[in-house]
Amino acid sequence: MHIRRDDIVEVITGEDRGKRGRVLRVDRKNQKLVVEGINKAIKHLRRSRKHPQGGRVEIEMPLHWSNVLLVCPMCNRATRTGARYLEDGSKVRYCKKCRADIGQIAPPRKRYAKSEAPAS
């Protein structure tokens, strides 16, 4: 999945289209994520010791990860992302619009490191 917790995303479909928010939780198994302030639902609470007033509470509901785009921190635009290996063999996400690195996905590996050819 190309989106991680604490990323800023923009909703591209649905009622909240065009809104941006921070990712609070990612559910990889169901391909869903919870975004701060997006896809809110009202939950009715009965009076109890924990909630003596009772009433209605707005909570964020999960939405499918295909309905959001990652916002690049460099160009501040919603963009698709790609993955590439750096010279040291680490795998990073990058912005398809400005080609800037967004964040590391995997630690460096010797197998993917670009080695220098020996001079003869």
pTM: 0.81
The 3-state secondary structure of the chain, one letter per residue: CCCCCCCEEEECCCCCCCCEEEEEEEECCCCEEEECCCCEEEEEECCCCCCCCCEEEEEECCEEHHHEEEECCCCCCEECEEEEECCCCCEEEEECCCCCEEEEEECCCHHHCCCCCCCC
Q: Domain boundaries in the chain?
A: 1-71, 80-114
pLDDT tens column, 1-33: 689 999 999 999 999 999 999 999 999 999 999
**pLDDT digits over 59-114, tens only?**
999 999 999 999 999 999 999 999 999 999 999 999 999 999 998 999 999 888 88
Q: Does domain 1-71 have CATH number 2.30.30.30?
A: yes
